[in-house]
Amino acid sequence: MRICLVRILFDTLCFRLFRSLLQPLQSLQFIPTETIRCSAFIFFAYLCSMKRYGLIGKTLRHSWSQQWFSRMFAREGITNAEYTLYELPSVDGLKQWMLQKGINGLNVTIPYKEAVLPLLDRLDNEAQSIGAVNCIKVVDGQLEGYNTDAPAFAHSLHPLLQSWHSRALVLGTGGASKAVTHALHGLGIDCTLVSRHPELHPGAVSYTQAESLAAQCLLIVNTTPAGMFPLTDASPWTNFEVITPRHLCYDLIYNPAETLFMQQAKAHGAQTIGGLDMLHRQAALSWDIWQK
């Protein structure tokens, strides 16, 4: 009985809405009433089938995520999905906001990868171990958190590693840094965190101290936003005299494709890689999670 009433209400609303929208044509007796009714059901069925995904962060001028997903949708012939950028001043009330907007899944970027943790109903084991989330899935009104940064980083880095890349300096201590250190540990690489405020992070060193460790740590990974568009004239590392051809310098930033950090490191003979491949891999992994 309840289903019948809902169906009748839905039918009536659809009919009234489309009758108002198509009133000019109706006055010309151009479209039969039954056609309007059928069009209403088709239109609303399409709206209900639309899957909504997106990226949340404080500032997203640098992001290429929307372009990647839009191209993927076009390539795969996916017409019932959209990907939107959401610049949020905070993540307060995230769950209610997502449910009200009918969002099925989100990616998370700076500075919310750790801030969203207490707002989620469930974390998968890897995300819980890392302590940061960059992928959220809505399941039966509950928010599930995942981390696709760590496996994406590991897969993009692994082919470049040499036997001497056994120790790494990880620049930054945020959510991306946590994913990177988790991935490096999984690859058997020892990590030292580098911070502007090492006193706040046990085991971390200052950038000045890191320069003296560069001879032993031949892998340097930048997880900070220093050098990211639009502030492309910045670099997290300043003393490139300690960089050698045996160094591998990885910058998680993908916009620009080659950061100042990478340019300077390359000028001193180091091998460099930017974050574009990691972006593509984590996006694909997020999509797989949303479709399960």
Q: How far apart are the first and last CA of the chain?
A: 33
Q: Do domains 50-148+280-291 and 151-278 have the same CATH topology?
A: yes
Alpha helices in 23-106 (DSSP H): 23-27, 33-49, 65-76, 94-101
DSSP state of 242: G
pLDDT in tens, 9-64: 444 454 455 555 555 545 545 555 555 454 444 444 444 569 999 999 999 999 99
Architecture of the CATH domain 151-278: 3-Layer(aba) Sandwich (3.40)
Residue 75 confidence (pLDDT) above 90: yes
The CA distance from 109 to 122, in Å, is 19
Which of 27 and 199 is assigned the larger pLDDT?
A: 199
* Choice among 33-42, 107-116, 187-196, 212-221 with the minimum mean pLDDT: 33-42
User: What does the angle CA 290 – CA 291 – CA 292 come to, to the nearest 5 degrees?
Assistant: 95
* pLDDT tops 80 at residue 143: yes
Question: Residue 6 — very low, low, confident or very high, per pLDDT cuts 50/70/90?
Answer: very low
Q: What is the pLDDT of residue 156?
A: 98
Determine the Cα–Cα distance for residues 176 and 162; give it in Å rounded to an integer.
23
DSSP 8-state assignment for residue 31: S
Rounded Cα distance, 154 and 131, in Å: 17
- Name the helix (H) or strand (E) containing 252: none
CATH code assigned to 50-148+280-291: 3.40.50.10860
Q: What is the residue extent of each domain of the chain?
A: 50-148+280-291, 151-278
The sign of the CA dihedral 258, 233, 173, 93 is: negative
Which residues belong to the active site? Answer: 113
- What integer is the mean pLDDT of 118-142? 98
Residue in the structure block whose two tokens are 């994406």: 152
Confidence class for position 205, pLDDT limits 50, 70, 90 = very high
The predicted pLDDT at position 29 comes to 53
pLDDT band at 1 (very low <50, low <70, confident <90, very high): very low
Q: DSSP letter string over 103-122?
A: EEEEEE-TT-TTTTGGG-SE
pLDDT at 90 over 70: yes
